[in-house]
């Protein structure tokens, strides 16, 4: 007899999912009983860390990741992770155990009341199957839907007495199904789009995270070179879609209407690929586009296309469209863009260290293909100015504006990319949201190098308080946290440094350690 549990594991194998991230409770134990030997369970000590690890893993592999949470309480703890996965277009299947069907009506303890509503609106689909026999179909639906454009998280609430029920024979057909998306432009639409770009006198390209997710970075480079167009990265970008060392690269757009309009001034055509138009943050009203400019958006997300307040939009496969455009546009006779000015390297020998000095040392000492997962929010601009990111999948940042993503995501990314070194750059305020990820890294010997930038304050909030002219705000400082002691307690080797020589030595050792390491580096506030 094939049970619902047996068929579910076969479905996961069919989709190349044999890693499960989770923090289980009693409702989840029947699913995990007799756990298959060809699967691995990555235990996180908090549900937010579990979904963060799965998020990093899914983004780095480009495939759906599977998360196992506990009923309503576990789902609630993971809601920040849902927000990030939704905004990052991360394909996740998130399951939560439900009370047995016989007791759901009386709302016994651990009943997930109105379970399908709980994670909305941060999921593509939410389901609690009407009967046990529908669980395999719901699981198949979730696996396919999570990966279809635009990718994102889906949620299944499954009563725990369903798993041992027999699967219906016809459900076995689910094991051989394939679902695929075709998103290339037809010949006419491609020719029209290329012609608009060719007619432009001064085009500019703005790239977003979905270019990196599609591994279309090289196509974006070819397109920029043929158009001789400067390239900006969309504001608040959680990934790096274009080599920061390329002569056409201009940097990260500022997340305000007025600033973006100023930064794009003089361009008559703005081509946006793989990003919303635009993800603003601070309120600084102004024109949506500079005078005389038109905009074309290429996106995998119909919602992003339909909600944009200006321009034309094309919904399709970003990689296919950028590759076809790079082949189709003419090699323009425009002058080459002038390369941007690169910042001067920070001065050595100053203590406490400037954040810029730490970034320079990491950039000099780390492997050229290193992957950075960032949650040092006060140093974002400096990172985009100073770091040499040249390969796809080199940078990850929280997409939803909250904290707690980077430490667990770094563990997930490193599990997905064992041949590249992952470096997590974390602010001392941010680290407290998901510091339990250190335990998982230690238990599984995941060799992430965690660098804690300790300045004793919420630096990004202090900066924003200045923008908003909000004076005498309480609770902006976080002094007296001993991250070395915390890391040691979780089984991670850790050291505190306050000079560039000490940091360079500790960082070099950590890169060679082959196991997780943490460096707490005392940095100056305010940054230089």
For the question of residue 47 being annotated catalytic, the response is yes
Helices (H), 62-118: 71-77, 79-88, 101-104
Q: Which of 28, 128, 304, 520 is catalytic?
A: 28
For the question of residue 427 being annotated catalytic, the response is no
For the question of residue 520 being annotated catalytic, the response is no
Residue 4 CA to its chain's centroid (Å)? 32
For the question of residue 26 being annotated catalytic, the response is yes
Using CA atoms, how far apart are residues 70 and 12, in angstroms rounded to an integer? 19
Neighbouring CB atoms inside 10 A of 338's CB total 9
Residue 22, beta-bridge partner list: 43, 68
Q: Which of 266, 292, 401, 489 is catalytic?
A: 401
Using CA atoms, how far apart are residues 483 and 228, in angstroms rounded to an integer? 47
Using CA atoms, how far apart are residues 151 and 62, in angstroms rounded to an integer? 10
| DSSP state string for 479-500 | ----HHHHHHHTT-EEEEE-SH
Q: Which of 47, 356, 375, 520 is catalytic?
A: 47
Residue 309, beta-bridge partner list: none
For the question of residue 306 being annotated catalytic, the response is no
Q: Which of 246, 281, 294, 491 is catalytic?
A: 281
For the question of residue 375 being annotated catalytic, the response is no
Q: Which of 46, 70, 141, 219 is catalytic?
A: 70
Tokens found for residue 420: 């590249």
Using CA atoms, how far apart are residues 397 and 241, in angstroms rounded to an integer? 13
Using CA atoms, how far apart are residues 166 and 132, in angstroms rounded to an integer? 9
For the question of residue 70 being annotated catalytic, the response is yes
As a three-state string, the secondary structure of 163-206 is: CCCECCHHHHHHHHCCCCCCCCCCHHHHHHHHHHHHHCCCEEEE
Q: Which of 26, 107, 364, 466 is catalytic?
A: 26
Helices (H), 331-436: 355-365, 380-386, 406-416
Residue positions annotated with a catalytic role: 25-26, 28, 47, 70, 281, 401
């Amino acid at each position: 007899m094939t049970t619902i549990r047996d068929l579910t594991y076969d479905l996961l194998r069919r989709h190349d999912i044999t890693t499960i991230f989770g923090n289980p409770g009693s409702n989840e134990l029947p699913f995990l009983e007799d756990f298959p030997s060809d699967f691995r369970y990555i235990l996180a000590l908090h549900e937010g860390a579990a979904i963060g690890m799965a998020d990093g893993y899914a983004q780095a592999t480009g495939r759906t990741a599977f998360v196992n949470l506990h009923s309503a309480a576990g789902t609630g703890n993971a809601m920040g992770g849902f927000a990030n996965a939704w905004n990052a277009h991360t394909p996740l299947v998130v399951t939560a155990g439900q009370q047995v069907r016989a007791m759901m009506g009386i709302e016994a303890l651990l009943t997930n009341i109105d379970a399908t509503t709980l994670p909305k609106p941060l999921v593509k689909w939410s389901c609690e199957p009407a009967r046990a026999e529908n669980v395999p179909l719901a699981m198949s639906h979730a696996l396919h839907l999570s990966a279809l454009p635009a990718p994102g998280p889906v949620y299944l609430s499954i009563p725990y007495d369903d798993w041992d029920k027999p699967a219906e024979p016809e459900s076995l057909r689910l094991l051989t199904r394939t679902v695929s998306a075709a998103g290339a432009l037809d010949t006419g639409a491609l020719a029209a789009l290329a012609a608009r770009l060719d007619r432009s006198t001064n085009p500019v390209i703005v790239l977003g995270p979905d270019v990196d997710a599609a591994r279309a970075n090289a196509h974006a480079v070819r397109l920029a070179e043929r158009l001789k167009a400067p390239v900006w990265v969309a504001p608040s970008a959680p990934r790096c879609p274009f080599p920061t060392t390329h002569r056409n690269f201009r940097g990260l757009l500022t997340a305000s209407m007025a600033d973006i309009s100023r930064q794009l001034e003089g361009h008559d055509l703005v081509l946006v690929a793989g990003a919303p138009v635009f993800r603003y943050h601070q309120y600084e009203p102004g024109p949506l586009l500079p005078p005389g400019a038109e905009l074309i958006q290429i996106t995998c997300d119909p919602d992003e296309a339909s909600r944009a307040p200006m321009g034309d939009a094309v919904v399709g496969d970003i990689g296919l469209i950028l590759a076809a455009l790079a082949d189709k546009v003419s090699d323009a006779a425009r002058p080459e863009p002038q390369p941007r000015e690169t910042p001067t390297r920070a001065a050595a020998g100053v203590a406490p260290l400037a954040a810029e000095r730490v970034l320079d040392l990491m950039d000099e000492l780390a492997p050229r293909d290193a992957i950075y997962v960032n949650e040092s929010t006060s140093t974002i601009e400096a990172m985009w100015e100073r770091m040499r990111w040249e390969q796809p999948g080199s940078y990850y940042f929280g997409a939803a504006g909250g904290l707690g993503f980077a430490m667990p995501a770094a563990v997930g990314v490193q599990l997905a990319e064992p041949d590249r070194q992952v470096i997590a750059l974390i602010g001392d305020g941010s680290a407290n949201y998901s510091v339990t990820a250190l335990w998982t890294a230690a238990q599984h010997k995941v060799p992430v190098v965690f660098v804690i930038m300790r300045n004793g304050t919420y630096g990004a909030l202090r900066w924003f308080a200045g923008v908003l002219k909000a004076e005498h705000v309480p609770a902006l400082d976080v002094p007296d946290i001993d991250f070395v002691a915390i890391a040691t307690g979780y089984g991670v080797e850790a050291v505190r440094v306050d000079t560039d020589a000490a940091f360079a030595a500790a960082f070099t050792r950590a890169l060679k350690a082959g196991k997780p390491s943490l460096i707490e580096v005392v940095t100056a506030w305010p940054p230089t």
